[in-house]
Amino acid sequence: MNWKKLALYSLNVVLGAYLVLAMTAFNNPEERANVCSEVRIRMEEGLNKGFLTTDRVRQLLADNHIDLVGQQMKDINTRNIETMLLGNALIEEAECYLTQTGHVCINIKQRTPVVRVMNERGDDYCVDSNGKLMAKPDLSCDLIIATGAINTTYAQQILAPAVKDIIANDLWNSQVVQLNVLKDGSVEMVPRVGQHIIYLGQPVDIAAKLNRLTKFYRYGLSRTGWNKYSRISVEFDNQIICKRKNNK
Do 52 and 120 fall within a single domain? no
**Number of structural domains in the chain:** 2
Query: Does residue 203 share a domain with residue 159?
Result: yes
Residue 12 lies in a domain: no
Q: Among 76, 110, 144, identify where a domain stops.
A: 110
**Would you say residue 3 lies in a domain?**
no
Task: Pick 94 or 90 by higher pLDDT.
Answer: 94
- Does a structural domain hold residue 197? yes
Of all residues in the chain, the percent with pLDDT exceeding 90 is 59
* pLDDT at res. 148: 97
For residues 106 and 118, membership in a common domain is answered with no
Count Cβ atoms below 10 Å from residue 182 Cβ, excluding itself. Answer: 12
Q: How confident is the model at residue 124 (pLDDT cuts 50, 70, 90)?
A: very high
Rounded Cα distance between 161 and 114, Å, is 9
106 and 149 belong to one structural domain: no
Contact call for residues 115 and 143 (beta carbons, < 8 A) = yes
Whether 237 maps to a domain, the answer reads yes
Clarify whether residues 121 and 209 are in a common domain: yes
Kindly tell me if the per-residue pLDDT of 26 is higher than 50: no
Whole-number Å distance between alpha carbons of 197 and 186: 13
Q: Which domain holds residue 101?
A: 38-110
| Low-confidence winner among 30-34, 113-117, 146-150, 189-193 (lowest mean pLDDT) | 30-34
**Same domain assignment for residues 233 and 118:** yes
Say whether both 120 and 238 belong to one domain.
Answer: yes
Q: What is the DSSP letter of 131?
A: S
137 within some domain: yes
| pLDDT (average), residues 64-80 | 94
Alpha carbon 182 to chain centroid, angstroms? 28
Q: What is the mean pLDDT of the chain?
A: 85
Helix (H, G, I), strand (E, B) or coil at 172: helix
Distance, CA of 214 to CA of 202 (rounded, Å) = 19
Q: Are residues 126 and 137 in the same domain?
A: yes
CA distance 45 to 64: 24
Instruction: Tell me which of 43 and 49 has the higher pLDDT.
Output: 43
For the ranges 17-26, 88-97, 167-176, which has the lowest average pLDDT? 17-26
Domain end among 93, 110, 127: 110
pLDDT for 12: 63
68 pLDDT more than 60:
yes
- Chain segment 131-174, per-residue pLDDT in tens: 999 877 766 677 899 999 999 999 999 999 999 999 999 899 99
Q: What are the phi and psi torsion angles at 245 (to 5°)?
A: -70, 140
* Main-chain phi, psi angles of 109, to 5 degrees: -110, 120
Per-residue confidence (pLDDT) for residue 29, from 0 to 100: 44
* Final residue before a domain boundary, out of 51, 78, 110: 110
The pTM assigned to this predicted structure is 0.70
Which residues lie across from 108 on neighbouring strands?
Answer: 43, 94
Q: Are residues 59 and 167 in the same domain?
A: no
What's the rounded mean pLDDT across residues 41-65?
82
- Domain with residue 77: its CATH number is 3.10.20.310
pLDDT at 125: 92
Question: Is residue 23 domain-resident?
Answer: no
User: Which residue stretches of the chain are H helix?
Assistant: 3-27, 54-63, 78-86, 152-154, 160-167, 170-175, 206-216, 222-224
